[in-house]
Structure 1
Amino acid sequence: MWNRSFLILHGVENRRPADHWQHDLALRLRERGEQVFYPQLPDPDRPTLQAWTEAVEAELAMARGERVVICHSLACAAWLHVAAGRDEPPADRVLLVAPPGPSVFDWDVVAGFTPEGLDLGALTLAASTPRLACSDADPYCPEGAADAYGKPLGCDVDLLPGAGHIAVPDGYGPWPSVLEWCLDPSARLVPKP
C-alpha cells in the first residue's frame, strides 16, 4: 500500500513527450517505487475546462495517502478551478509551474480556463502552503507569475531567472530540483544544472 501518490498534470498542446521534465519526473518517481499518475488529459490541442477537471477528479479519486500534485502551464489554471468551491483542499501538497498569465486567456483555445472571476485569495489549493516555480522571462506570463499568482494565492515562490516557460524549448528535460521537492517539501526549486 502506498503512503503517497503523485499526480502530474501537463499543459495545452502537450502529449507528454519523453524529453519533458514531467515525463522524466514520472520515471524517476516510479523508479523509487512511488505511485505516480501522469494522465494524458483530453483533447490537448482544444481542451475544455470541464473535460480536464473531470479527468483530474477521476485521477484524484484513485490517489492514496498523501496527495502531491505537480501542474505545468494550463494545468495550473485547471487546478485553480478544481480547488474552487471546495470545503476541503483537493491535495496535501501542490506545485504550480509556469502558470499562464491573464493575457494568455485571450487565446480562444484556453479562454475557458481563465481564473478571472475566481477569488484567488480565498482558494485553498492544498493542505500545506502551495509552491510556485516561475520564470522572470515566461512569454506565456508577461505579467509575472509571482505577482499574478504567487501573492494572491499565498504561495512560496521560487523564481528561476531566464527559464522561459520551463519547458523543453527552454532546456527543461531532466530537472533534478523538482524531484527533490517531490521527495522533500522543504527543498527549493532551482534552475536546471
Structure 2
Amino acid sequence: MWNRSFLILHGVENRRPAEHWQHDLALRLRERGEQVFYPQLPDPDRPTLRGWTGAVEAELGMMRGERVVVCHSLACVAWLHVAADRAEPPADRVLLVAPPGPSVFDWDAVAGFTPAGLDLKALRPAAAAPRLVCSDGDPYCPEGAADAYGEPMGCEVDLLPGAGHIAVPDGYGPWPSVLEWCLDPSVRLAPRP
C-alpha cells in the first residue's frame, strides 16, 4: 500500500510530450517507487471544464495516502473548480504552476474554465493551502499570477524570473526543483539550472 500518491495535470494543447518537465517528473517519481497518476486529459485542444473536472475526480478516486497534486497552466484553474465543489480539501498538497491570467479566458477554447465566478479567498482551505509557482514574464498571465491568484488565495509564491510559461519552449524539460518539492514540501521552487 502506498503512503502517498501524486497526480500530475497538464494544460491546454498538451499531449504529455516527453520533453516536458511534467513527463520527467512522472518518470523520476516512479523510479523512486511512488504511485503516480499522469492522465491525458480529454480533448486537450478543445477542453471542456466538465470533461476535465470529471477526469480529475476519477483520478482522485484512485489515489491513496497523502494526495499530492501538481498542476500546470489550465489544469491549475480546472483544479480550483474541483476544489470549489468540495466541502473538504481534495488533496493534502497542491502545486499550481503558471496558471493562465484573466485575459486568457477571452480565448474561446478555454473560456469555459474562467475563474471569474470563483471566490479565491474562500478556496484556500478547500485547495489545501496550495503553493504557487509563476514567472515574472508569463505571456499567458500578463496580469501576474502572484497578483491574480497568489494574493487572493494567500498562497506561498515562488517567483521564477524570466521563466516564461514554465514550459518546454522556456527551457523547462527536467526541473530538479519540482521533484525536490514533491519529496519535501519545505523546498522552495527554483528556476531550472
The TM-score, its normalising length taken from structure 2, stands at 0.98
Aligned letter for 2:189? L
Range 77-86 or range 6-15, more displaced: 77-86
Q: Structure 1: how far apart are the matches of 2:117 and 2:2?
A: 37
Q: Structure 1: how far apart are the matches of 2:157 and 2:189?
A: 9
Q: Structure 1: how far apart are the matches of 2:154 and 2:68?
A: 18
Q: Structure 1: how far apart are the matches of 2:42 and 2:126?
A: 22
Q: What is residue 18 of structure 1 aligned with on the other side?
A: 18
Q: What is residue 98 of structure 2 aligned with on the other side?
A: 98
- Displacement of 1:65: 0.1
Q: Structure 2: how far apart are the matches of 1:126 and 1:45?
A: 26
Deviation string 1:11-58 (CA, Å, 9 cap, x unpaired) is: 000000000000000000000000000000000000000000000000
Q: Structure 1: how far apart are the matches of 2:174 and 2:167?
A: 10
| Partner SS for 2:14 | coil
Deviation string 1:108-145 (CA, Å, 9 cap, x unpaired) is: 00000000011000013433x21000000000000000
| Partner SS for 1:71 | strand
Q: What is residue 118 of structure 1 aligned with on the other side?
A: 118
Q: What is residue 133 of structure 2 aligned with on the other side?
A: 133
Q: Structure 2: how far apart are the matches of 1:98 and 1:155?
A: 13
The TM-score, its normalising length taken from structure 1, stands at 0.98
Q: Structure 2: how far apart are the matches of 1:40 and 1:117?
A: 26
Aligned letter for 2:180? E
Which consecutive unaligned segments of at least 5 residues does structure 1 have? none
- Displacement of 1:87: 1.0
CA contact (8 A) 1:97 1:134 kept: yes
- Displacement of 1:99: 0.1
Post-superposition, which runs of at least 4 consecutive aligned residues in structure 1 deviate over 4 A? none
CA contact (8 A) 2:163 2:191 kept: yes
RMSD: 0.7
Q: Does 1:158 align with 2:158?
A: yes
Which consecutive unaligned segments of at least 5 residues does structure 2 have? none
Aligned letter for 1:184? D
Q: Structure 2: how far apart are the matches of 1:61 and 1:163?
A: 33
Q: Structure 2: how far apart are the matches of 1:96 and 1:85?
A: 18
Q: Structure 1: how far apart are the matches of 2:85 and 2:40?
A: 25
| Partner SS for 2:60 | helix
Question: Sequence identity, in percent?
Answer: 88
Aligned letter for 1:15? R
Aligned letter for 2:46? R
| Partner SS for 1:182 | helix
Q: Structure 2: how far apart are the matches of 1:82 and 1:102?
A: 18
Range 76-85 or range 175-184, more displaced: 76-85
